[in-house]
Amino acid sequence: MPSVHQPVVVRIDGGRPENGQVDAWIVPVFEEDAFVDLPGLDEATGGELSAARTRAEFKGKAFEVLACPLRAWGARYLIAVGAGARAAWTGAQARRVATVGALAARSRRLPRVGVLCRPCPSDQVASVVESLVEGVYLANYDGAARKSEGPAQSWVSELVMQTADTAAARQAVAVGSVVGEFTNQARELVNEPGNILTPRELAERATALAGAASLPIEVLDDDAIGRLGMGLLQGVARGSKEPPRVIVLRHEPAGVTAGPVLAFIGKGITFDSGGISIKPAENMDKMKGDMAGGAAVIGAMCAIARLNLPVRVLGIVPATENLPGGNAMKPGDVLTSAAGKTVEVLNTDAEGRLVLGDGLWYARRLGATHLVDVATLTGACMIALGKTTTGLFAAPESWGATVLAASERAGERTWSMPVFEDYRELFRSDIADFSNTGGRYGGAITAALFIKEFAGDLPWAHLDIAGPAWAEEAKPYQPKGATGAAVRTLVELARAAGEWAGR
Ligand code: BES
Ligand code: MN
Ligand code: ZN
């Protein structure tokens, strides 16, 4: 299979853009722009840029694209990208604008691109540079790699960031490159078909990625899972011929022996048919992406290792298929979790919370002090918040606020949801400690509460990414399919460990 994404060689150029040596200049253009800060650019297009604005063909509205040949400025093309209002120039906007510009360069087969970093308040420069680099990486991804004809577009091979060459800019380029690369790795895993990306294959891919990032990894097989007594994971796995795996990643930087042990637990259902409580046929194919939480954890762990962040982090991905085979768990079955709690399975399609229950138990056993699980967990969360917003559930509230702040810095829209303790009665069982479903109403909350049963008294947060993990509709900055949701939020949380660790 041809590769689905490519790394980019990034360099910083603090010199004059007129002396550029690229194929295309990508220039964010604001709505209120008069180009005063870009002397000579309009002239280099022979007046095309200002003419297009006068004709109202290009207004600087977000994600508009105007491509015109350049007669100067050391490039063949100008790709002007509408950047919206200057006041709304955030990292999240910069990332999308860079993706749009780089996609336009790729479709014109212009592999060497330069991005002009437009003026912004100085405290934001680093975050904008980081986002622009990430955005170009995200554009360097192709979902159609399994078509037999070759790619219609070129890759971006080289990126020149036109900005002052400071230590902060260099750091921003390094972070943006790493986070961009591993967001793409997560997208690749999520887009992979279920017949190819089985739990064993997911573990193989994680092993290869972790190896390249010098991140220690251990993969638990059937026997190990059985010896640990992970009856919830085993219960889900029983319906498939493919054996389950638990992927365990450990970032333990040299010299860091005190402070928190952050643990990320990602749902790794490589295909969710619903099991005996089988799903309708429509859209069942999308359930190959039910390991997006696991992919986000694998991607974030590799990025954290590559960035050498000075905090201990564990990544745990319980991986299995959820199929209705002859040995499958049935509605009414009772499973015993590794934590000892018993669960009556009333709906085999509520499998994510089951595997996460054993995953959280294992994180605690390995010494975690702070828990974050990530999962494409419920349709109910999409009903509540829409397709592009992550639901955040946490206890205590202060830990939720820390995770929310990380998501904001990451530019990933996330909304705090309540964790009403009295809703526990909704998943009461007559015969076991509890059941695995709480009914239709408040389904995202009862699912979160189920997982919380396994968090002990540790600070715990749960990110329900059922909506944002997968783009149903193409946007100018996001093709259909996997998005890499939550990778950036998890990395940001680890980057900020110095701030929350003491609390
Ligand atoms: N993987 C699904 C949730 C999901 C649905 C993610 C659509 C992305 C898109 C999960 O395992 C599931 O089936 N949840 C059920 C729970 C119900 C049976 C209590 C749901 O949300 O319907
Ligand atoms: Mn399910
Ligand atoms: Zn699922």
Could you report the per-residue pLDDT of 184-232, keeping only the tens digit for each?
999 999 999 999 999 999 999 999 999 999 999 999 999 999 999 999 9
> Who wins on pLDDT, 162 or 32?
162
- Please tell me whether the overall predicted TM-score, pTM, comes out greater than 0.85 for this model: yes
Q: What is the pLDDT of residue 146?
A: 78
Q: Which two structure tokens, joined as six digits, stand for 227?
A: 């010896």
24 half-sphere exposure, CB direction, 13 A CA radius: 28
pLDDT of 177 higher than 60: yes
89: left (phi over 0), alpha (psi -120 to 50) or beta: beta
Among the listed residues 106, 353, 409, 488, the single catalytic one is 353
Task: Give distance in angstroms: CA of 347 to centre of ligand 2.
Answer: 9
Q: What is the pLDDT of residue 413?
A: 97
Task: Give distance in angstroms: CA of 434 to centre of ligand 1.
Answer: 19
Task: Give distance in angstroms: CA of 352 to centre of ligand 3.
Answer: 5
**Ligand 1 pocket, mutate which of 273, 282, 345, 349 (most atoms under 8 A from CB):** 349
Residue 32: pLDDT band (50, 70, 90) is: confident
Q: For residue 158, with 0-12 CB atoms within 10 Å meaning exposed, 13-18 middle and 19 or more buried, which class applies? A: middle
pLDDT of 339 higher than 90: yes
- Residue % of the chain over a pLDDT of 90: 89
Question: What is the spatial distance between Cα 247 and Cα 316, in angstroms, rounded to a whole number?
Answer: 6
Question: What is the spatial distance between Cα 202 and Cα 205, in angstroms, rounded to a whole number?
Answer: 5
Q: Which two structure tokens, joined as six digits, stand for 390?
A: 């992550």
Residue among 368, 361, 399 at smallest CA distance from 250: 368
Question: What is the spatial distance between Cα 348 and Cα 321, in angstroms, rounded to a whole number?
Answer: 12
Residue 37: pLDDT band (50, 70, 90) is: low
- Give the DSSP per-residue string, 367-434: T-SEEEEEE---HHHHHHH-TT-EEEEEESHHHHHHHHHHHHHHT--EEE----GGGGGGG--SSSSE
Residue 38: pLDDT band (50, 70, 90) is: confident
Cβ < 6 A, ligand 1 pocket: 272, 290, 347, 349-352, 376-380, 437, 443, 466
pLDDT of 124 higher than 90: no
Q: Which atom, in ligand 1's list, is nearest to the CA of 447?
A: 19
Protein residue with its CA nearest to atom 13 in ligand 1: 349
Among the listed residues 279, 286, 341, 424, the single catalytic one is 279
Q: Which residue ranges form the domains of the chain, and what is each CATH number?
A: 9-163 (3.40.220.10), 188-500 (3.40.630.10)
**Ligand 1 pocket, mutate which of 233, 278, 347, 377 (most atoms under 8 A from CB):** 377
- Please confirm, yes or no, whether 267 is among the known catalytic residues: no
Q: What is the pLDDT of residue 125?
A: 86
Q: What is the pLDDT of residue 503?
A: 62
Residue 147: pLDDT band (50, 70, 90) is: confident
Task: Give distance in angstroms: CA of 352 to centre of ligand 2.
Answer: 6
Find residue 249's DSSP bridge partners.
217, 315
- Residue % of the chain over a pLDDT of 70: 99
